[in-house]
Structure 1
Amino acid sequence: MTLFNYLRALALFYRLLLPQTALLSAVVLGATWLGAGLLNTPWPPRLGPGLVLMKLATFPVVAYLGQRLRPEQHWLFRNLHLSPGQLWAPVLVLDTVGFGAFVGLLNQLWA
């Protein structure tokens, strides 16, 4: 498989998971907003290890929802000779970096 085809398959896989990852990112930010309101801590939160770990903890839920909502997608990527690790590792990195960039943007806007 060429690099171009791999990137196309990866973009397709991420596009299928984007609604779940965006929803769970909003849940993480909503939880920090609620915590900031109840505990009188500053919001938006700084991008620290706790926030990144909260975001990374949502990926098992995304994997479960991805398998339950679209069971046929497994065969599409298997026929392209892609293992789950080849699909999930870049998605995990890209989504976490995107989340970090969004939190950084929120911090710049509220500063």
Structure 2
Amino acid sequence: MPFMDEILPDTAEAFGKLRDSIFAGGELDRKTKELIAIASSVLMRCQYCVDVHSQRAVAHGANKKEIAEAIAIAMFIAGGSQLGWTNIYGENVYDIIFKEKKSGEPGEEKPESDKGCCCGK
């Protein structure tokens, strides 16, 4: 982070110390920490981080299958998270969408809450 070193050297130093303290010692070995970092990097969509942490994981004994499994775990969490984030109405929005309509209920009326939808429709 050359620009941080130049413009905010104290911040750059603090970030480096945070990294060093997280990846040094502790209950998890370095390989495991790097595999967690790979999965986290996938979720954050940081290609650079995935690359760096994959190289570091290999340097600490990880193999390609372990790295692939870390990536697969991130994919699973990303996919599954789409099922649980939708509780804005006090009820899961997917449950609202897919529940059986009782006879006499309006079919295709948009709820009042849709008027401010981010998609503009």
TM-score normalised per structure 2: 0.37
Q: Say which structure is richer in helix.
A: 1
Q: Identify which of structures 1 and 2 has the higher relative contact order when contacts are C-alpha pairs closer than 8 Å and 6+ apart.
A: 1
TM-score normalised per structure 1: 0.40
